[in-house]
Amino acid sequence: MPSRAPVPPVICYPVETLPRPDLPALRAACDGMTCVATHIAPPREAACFEVKAGQAFRITSIDGPQVGDLNLWNAHDLSERFYSGKTRALHGTHVTEGHQLWSSFPTLRPMVTITRDTLNWYRFDADGGGIHDVIGTRCDPYTHHLLSGQDYHHCCHSNLTRAVAEHLNLSLSEAECHVHDVLNVFMCTGFTRDTQQYFMKASPVQPGDFIEFFAEVDLLCALSACPGGDCSATHSSDEAKCYPLEITVYDLARAPDGWSAPQTNGYDRTHGI
Ligand SMILES: [Zn+2]
């Protein structure tokens, strides 16, 4: 066996050339913003809501520690949707202030910019856990059935499916194919050190904590209040204590200085032909 010397890791996607948002300008424009709509994602249910480009929205913990699963679509073209995997490749396993949530191919552009995050202080704990991950998928009845043989109907995947079906007047099967991997809002997760398995632990979120997004494009959004509650013990069941999540949508007093809606990706799509 030839010996193989350790080699250093290389960042797959260096972000030095990634166009970056002007966070101070976005935050300044969000100061004094006006709430124009409020929605509630009830426990073990989901809410659908729309946000215009240039508006902001917050997801807030209100009654108790609760994790949320967030989907985003271009409101005018549902085939453009949040791309969890590429967001992870660009920004890392967990996102916070200054990070953007990117859309699917072929658009690959920022859908939202995270402008404020009251759990930004958490960073990464001794177990490697962080907040707001893009490493999980969403709890779903298929994996639950695979592992337990049981059917449970209030996983985030089903909650999102029902909410999208109702909001867009689609059948469940039509709506289900639009549901995609989520941003796990407020969830504390990581990979175990020894086996690199996905883990969760009790979220530090408390009532009053929020994450705030600036909408870069017109959005259709869906948020599920996960049946795992604070995800300290279990999910995909009615066992955990669950709370609602509040969504507030805001008009900004003015457009952020220097901001313009993001263009679709510049690749010519000829794929070498
Ligand atoms: Zn869930």
- When divided into structural domains, the chain yields a total of 1
> What is the tens place of the pLDDT at every residue in 164-219?
999 999 999 999 999 999 999 999 999 999 999 999 999 999 999 999 999 999 99
**Residue 4 belongs to some domain of the structure:** no
User: In whole angstroms, what is the distance from residue 32 CA to residue 27 CA?
Assistant: 10
CA distance 83 to 52: 19
pLDDT digits (tens, 9 = 90+) for 234-259: 887 888 899 999 999 999 999 999 99
Q: Is residue 5 part of a domain?
A: no
Q: Is residue 1 part of a domain?
A: no
Distance 186 CA to ligand 1 centre (A): 12
Give 96-145 pLDDT, tens digit per residue: 999 999 999 999 999 999 999 999 999 999 999 999 999 999 999 999 99
Contact of 260 with 110, CB cutoff 8 Å: no
Does 271 fall in a domain? no
Residue 233 has pLDDT above 90, yes or no: no
Cβ atoms within 10 Å of 238's Cβ, excluding its own: 11
Question: In this structure, which amino acid lies at residue 51?
Answer: V
Spacing, Cα 125 to ligand 1 middle (Å): 22
Cα of 252 from ligand 1 centre, angstroms: 31
- Gap between the Cα atoms of 200 and 188, Å rounded: 6
| Distance (Å) from CA 55 to ligand 1 centroid | 27
Q: Is 174 helix (H, G, I), strand (E, B) or coil?
A: helix
The C-alpha angle 40, 42, 46, rounded to 5 degrees, equals: 85
Cα 169 versus chain centre, distance: 24
Instruction: With respect to residue 199, please indicate whether it lies within any of the assigned structural domains.
Output: yes
The pLDDT assigned to 234 comes to: 84
Provide mean pLDDT across the span 59-80.
Answer: 98
Whole-number Å distance, alpha carbon 227 to ligand 1 midpoint, is 6
| Distance separating alpha carbons of residues 191 and 10, to the nearest angstrom | 20
Rounded distance from Cα 139 to ligand 1 centre (Å): 4
How far away, in angstroms, is 56 Cα from ligand 1 center?
24
Q: Which domain range does residue 43 map to?
A: 23-251
d(CA 53, CA 259): 11
- Helix, strand, coil shares of the chain, percent, nearest 5, are 15, 30, 55
Region 72-81: mean pLDDT is 98
- Assess if residue 261 is contained within a domain: no
Dist. CA 156 → ligand 1 center (Å): 4
Q: What is the CA(222)–ligand 1 centre distance, in A? A: 13
Q: Is the dihedral of CA 21, 108, 57, 202 positive or negative?
A: negative
Rounded CA gap, 228 and 240, in Å?
6
The pLDDT of residue 220 is 98
Report pTM: 0.96
Residue 81 has pLDDT above 90, yes or no: yes
Strand 110-117 to 77-81 pairing = unpaired
Within a domain: residue 34? yes
Cβ 48 vs Cβ 167: under 8 Å: yes
pLDDT of residue 1: 65
Q: Which of 215, 244, 239, 260 is nearest to 66 (CA)?
A: 244
Q: What is the pLDDT of residues 11-54, one digit of tens each?
A: 999 999 999 999 999 999 999 899 999 999 999 999 999 999 99
Distance 62 CA to ligand 1 centre (A): 18
Query: Interior CA angle at 94 toward 177 and 256, to 5°?
Result: 85
Domain membership of residue 15 (yes or no) is no
Ligand 1 center–CA 272 separation, angstroms: 41
Asked if residues 256 and 26 have their Cβ atoms less than 8 Å apart, the reply is yes
Residue 224 Cα to ligand 1 midpoint, Å, equals 7
What is the Å distance from ligand 1's center to 143 Cα?
A: 12
Where on the phi/psi map is residue 23: left (φ > 0), alpha (ψ -120 to 50), or beta? alpha
- The whole-chain average pLDDT of the chain stands at 96
Average pLDDT over residues 213-233: 96
